[in-house]
Structure 1
Amino acid sequence: MNAINSQKKHVFFRRVSTAGQDIITQEAADLPFREKLSDDEILIINEIATSANKKAIKERPEMQRLISLVKDKKVHSIYAFDRSRLFRDFYEGMEFNDLRAKYDVQVIYTSVGNGNMPASDDVFVEGLLSMFSDIEGKNIARRSREARLRYPAKKFGYQKQKETKRFLHDSSKSKGVQQYFAALKEISSLDDLYKVTKEYRKKLKKTDEQLVSMATDPFYAGYDLEKGTNKLQHVTPYISIEEFLQLQRVNGEFFKAFLERKKSLMCQNIYTPCCGYCRKPLFYKIEEESNSSYYSCSSKLHPKVTVSFSDLSKIIGGILSEIIQNFNAEKLINQSINCYRTIKKHLEAEMDSIDQNLNGIIEELVLGSDDYSADWKQDPMYKRKQLLKQEYHNCLEQIKENQNALQKNKSVIKVIEEALINQSNMNPSMLCDMLINGIWIYGDNLQVDVFYFDYLQEMEKEMIFEGEDIA
């Protein structure tokens, strides 16, 4: 690829959605244009295995590179097979069209003559064409998804015959899959589901999410239920469609609750405690069956360190509550008042000085001038007088502005005080980041470093939480 120099380039942009797709067609289409240019005028950008349907602009490095070149005024023209090679999304396409128009960059579609419209400077026309490209892209994505549902590249428990495209039971896994579906038919509670997934997590070497996905996938019944009830003749089922539908009716809520519980437990990981001995961050672990989570250190070189999320959360909540109760809002208000008084005193002194200068100038203008017929407004002393009057007025305005700011400060401080109280209940993790410097867990106690600031009154250096305090 040629290096980019100061000369504006003719950029040939090509894109294929998957690594297996061939870019030769696009290369052949832009060859007649490249043959008319010298090598140092050409820059080729190939975007391989990148779906414009699935990835936004910020997720496409080569497109970001092209946009940067346009903004740097290094692009003369852009050549692409058609609009879909640049963008699929309507809004992204219109933004790009605005960008290339702003920097006077021409766009040439090399497949024109095959049913594709050339690039247009008409915003309305280009908008319609971008819209059609967007719709086409979404249809392609929909069709691809439907194809994957019926003919997936791989499916656990199956062997895919390339010649016939039939999905037959994988002899090495079929027994385990059959036993798993048989076990699912016997569950009658969420606890039963946890016992089944715990057993088959090891047997089938699948995650909990993958196991639940299997349990809710009609492919294992030899059907596609995405749109209606479509039997997949090429699939050998593990379970009948009647048994599958019965499984969803009876246990569907358990499957949903199972996934939601894990998601909820994972979202609880809002703190970053560290081991007090080795000073390393603790690992966050969840126990889905008991619906609980905890932090622990894996090191065996010191006493065991573990604390449940529930206990840690209550302790941190108690510490945050202490911080908020000891927050001295009055001290903050008094400092604002003192600051205002200092500024006001300085400005009033400046105003006194201006006033004295004004009086001196007025006396000299009135008593010292003999020629009243002269254009007195052009007198340098008169101009000086006007400047001093403006400075005096500015000082008055500054005093007024600071007075208003003081009143706002008082209101803001009260709001801060109320917000701290509310956030301790609504968003403790945010307050923890703002007010707590570090959390260190030891065998039977923990150390919390609180950020020191002037408006925090005396707090207890040591706080003891008994069992009932955190129960």
Structure 2
Amino acid sequence: MYIRVSTAQQNIAMQEGSAGSILSQFPASQIHRFIDEGVSATKTKLRERPGLQKLIQSIQHREIGTVVVYDRSRISRNTYEYIAFVKIIQSYNVRVIFTGDKEPAFTSSHFIEAFYALHAQGEGKKIRQRALDAQRHFPSKLIGYIKIEENGQVRYIRDEPRATYIQSLFEKMANVSTTVEMESVFLQYRAKIKRPYLRLFKILNTPFYSAIVLNENQCQQLEYVEPITTQDLYNRVKQNLNVIASADQQVKTEQLSYRMMPVCGYCGEPMSVQSGDYFHRKMATYVCKTKIHRRNAISIQEYENEIMSIIYDYLKSIDIKKMEKMCFQYIREQEMKSKNKKRSLEQALVQINVEIVTFLAIKKRTDALLKRKEQLQVALRDQDAMIKRLDDIKVNFSEMAYLIKVRLISDLIQDSDLWDLAEDLICQISVFKSEIKMVLRCKTFIREGAF
């Protein structure tokens, strides 16, 4: 049995309890538990989860015949990682049982499983957004504040003397007009607040200090927060930071530095982040961890601009009509197979009913026929469910194709959309001294000669 929980609020006992009736069918000595605690499927890759890796190794050693898990999202919220796991399962002829009440049964179709995985991935992105929203409204810890929880209520009060230092930092930064003045202020408050330059930038870009949050440029007042600065001062500081474009770009680079980490093109090892220092004009970079390739490095700003450019061009080169035609053709083929199988099962069920009536007096034969009838009825329900799933896929795919046409490959596409797509489309990025190489997915749908 595999269990994954990402937060303290999620319950290992609940996942195990939902599998009680299934586990009771096996001797205790044959039940092995693989658990990953405090692991987020949206943030942690398959290869970085020790519990899941032990499960995969046991499968490959042919020590596992059945995997019991609550639902697909416990395995992965990334479609490609989930399908890679499915391929391993099927290669070793392992049965999968989902115990969640509303989780559809595991199928032998990669296409159907990919559809369910896409749904789980979409839910994962919604969860990540909800978590970000919750963190903005109720940060677990924020320098300058003490978080107090009483009688189910949360409030934030100033933590002195840091709150006063941060208040003074906002007041000083509201009046700077040059990078020289800004550097002077930062040098002064870096020692007082005991945070590096980039952390000071993030403090100044956090509206929570003025007891507000911004949602799509709309301001929401937080009554449970004791303000450290005023909204007017926050806005003035924000304007000053935006004027100093280089500093703003550096902060942006730092914020994106944990997405799509590359590998060294020479040794294949993951590259590491070397922090930048704006005031010393040192940009943050990715560098190879090994000493022999230490000079293989690229600034994160250059690296991410290159990714955005390539993904944007790649999307523009997708032949939407070709994609729709091929996918709908495949869906129709699967529908035809399912309907033919359903007809065969219905015919077999009619024949079984005839035989049951014919051999009604022979108990042993009748018992065998009734057991076979029950098996056919289960298989028939599975085919009905499969046909319903294919109908759902057609609807969802039509919506996805529309979004690609109207939004994702339009000139109005947002950077956040591009990053989400980059994570889905890019298998691996290798950095060399003079070039970046990417392995991309979905090449089947690219117009000939377009990319």
Q: TM-score range by the shorter chain?
A: 0.5 to 0.7
Percent identity, aligned pairs only, is 25
Rg larger for: 1
Scaled by the length of structure 2, the TM-score of the pair is 0.54
Question: What secondary structure, in the 3-state scheme, does the structure 2 residue paired with 1:78 have?
Answer: strand
Question: What secondary structure, in the 3-state scheme, does the structure 2 residue paired with 1:237 have?
Answer: coil
Contact 2:3 2:34 in 1 (8 A): yes
CA distance in 1, matches of 2:79, 2:174: 47
Question: What secondary structure, in the 3-state scheme, does the structure 2 residue paired with 1:161 have?
Answer: strand
- Structure 1 residues 49, 262: closer, same or farther in 2, change over 3 A? closer
Q: In the TM superposition, what are the counterparts of 1:35-434 in structure 2 within 5 Å? A: 35-111=24-100, 114-163=101-150, 164-229=153-218, 230-254=220-244, 256-257=246-247, 260=250, 289=279, 291=281
- 1:384-420 Cα shifts (integer Å, max 9, x gaps): xxxxxxxxxxxxxxxxxxxxxxxxxxxxxxxxxxxxx
Structure 1 residue ranges, 4+ long, deviating more than 6 angstroms after superposition: 261-264, 284-287
- 1:352-380 Cα shifts (integer Å, max 9, x gaps): xxxxxxxxxxxxxxxxxxxxxxxxxxxxx
Question: What secondary structure, in the 3-state scheme, does the structure 2 residue paired with 1:75 have?
Answer: coil
Scaled by the length of structure 1, the TM-score of the pair is 0.52
Contact 1:209 1:259 in 2 (8 A): no
CA distance in 2, matches of 1:134, 1:141: 10
CA distance in 1, matches of 2:121, 2:110: 16
CA distance in 2, matches of 1:149, 1:186: 27
Question: Is residue 15 of structure 1 aligned with residue 9 of structure 2?
Answer: no
CA distance in 1, matches of 2:252, 2:79: 37
Question: What secondary structure, in the 3-state scheme, does the structure 2 residue paired with 1:51 have?
Answer: coil
Question: What secondary structure, in the 3-state scheme, does the structure 2 residue paired with 1:166 have?
Answer: strand
- 1:114-172 Cα shifts (integer Å, max 9, x gaps): 22212122333322222211111111111011110111101111122212212222234
Contact 2:169 2:189 in 1 (8 A): yes
Contact 2:5 2:36 in 1 (8 A): yes
Question: What secondary structure, in the 3-state scheme, does the structure 1 residue paired with 2:154 have?
Answer: coil
| Structure 2 unaligned regions, length at least 5 | 258-273, 284-431, 435-451
Count residues with an aligned counterpart: 267
Q: How far did 1:51 drift?
A: 0.5
Question: What secondary structure, in the 3-state scheme, does the structure 2 residue paired with 1:181 have?
Answer: helix
Question: What secondary structure, in the 3-state scheme, does the structure 2 residue paired with 1:162 have?
Answer: strand
CA distance in 2, matches of 1:288, 1:124: 48
Amino acid at match of 2:227: P
Q: How far did 1:235 drift?
A: 2.0
| Structure 1 unaligned regions, length at least 5 | 1-11, 268-283, 294-425, 429-471
Q: What does residue 381 of structure 1 align with? A: none
Contact 1:193 1:254 in 2 (8 A): no
CA distance in 2, matches of 1:238, 1:205: 18
Q: How far did 1:53 drift?
A: 0.8
Amino acid at match of 1:152: P
- 1:292-320 Cα shifts (integer Å, max 9, x gaps): 79xxxxxxxxxxxxxxxxxxxxxxxxxxx
Q: How far did 1:255 drift?
A: 7.1
